[in-house]
Structure 1
Amino acid sequence: MPHNKPKPDDRSDNVEKLQSIVENTIENMEEAEETMQFSSPEERERIQAKNQRREESIHALREEIKDEAADRESGYRDEQ
């Protein structure tokens, strides 16, 4: 059975990928907010709960963006 070598860890575009995820999540939140005006009370509650989880995800992603940007600044030094 051949052993495939793992791809090297290419983190060069992680900041951009994470920023794109944040932007998409914000767009999803805004779209959900717009649909709330046409939703039942139960659906509004679900949308609000989902948007709260999205807010939490955005916060975590922004922290990860800071970490990745700092790692990029330091040249991705290996910590091994």
Structure 2
Amino acid sequence: MKNKPDDRTDNIDRIQYNIDRTILNCELADEMIAKTDDSKMKQALEDKNERRLESLQAMRCEIRDEALDKEKGYK
């Protein structure tokens, strides 16, 4: 069985897409928080947005690393 070659050509685009979607989801959750009176729902959405912000930080680091690797010519 042959392994597939490491194709990282679209990693930056894929990560950027995920960043954009995560930001959109945060914004949508903020709108829901503003509209709802349910305290449990508000807390759940706030907690989820906190996790999203942590993920955004990690994805931004990852995209930076990918860009540096691309400049070096993919190890």
Runs of 4+ in 1 over 6 A off after TM superposition: none
Q: How many matched pairs?
A: 74
Pairing 1:9-48 to 2, within 5 Å after superposition: 9-39=6-36, 40-48=38-46
5+ long unaligned stretches in structure 1: none
For residues 5-38 of structure 1, what are the alpha-carbon distances to aligned partners after superposition, in whole Å with 9 as ceiling and x for unaligned?
1211000110110000000000011111111123
Larger helix percent: 2
Q: Provide the C-alpha distance between the structure 2 equivalents of 1:29 and 1:6, rounded to a whole number of angstroms.
A: 38
Q: Normalized against structure 2, the TM-score is what?
A: 0.93
Structure possessing the higher radius of gyration over alpha carbons: 1
Q: Provide the C-alpha distance between the structure 1 equivalents of 2:34 and 2:62, rounded to a whole number of angstroms.
A: 33
For residues 37-66 of structure 1, what are the alpha-carbon distances to aligned partners after superposition, in whole Å with 9 as ceiling and x for unaligned?
232111101100000000000000000000
Q: Normalized against structure 1, the TM-score is what?
A: 0.88
RMSD (CA atoms): 0.8
5+ long unaligned stretches in structure 2: none
Percent of aligned positions that are identical: 43
Q: Provide the C-alpha distance between the structure 1 equivalents of 2:41 and 2:60, rounded to a whole number of angstroms.
A: 28
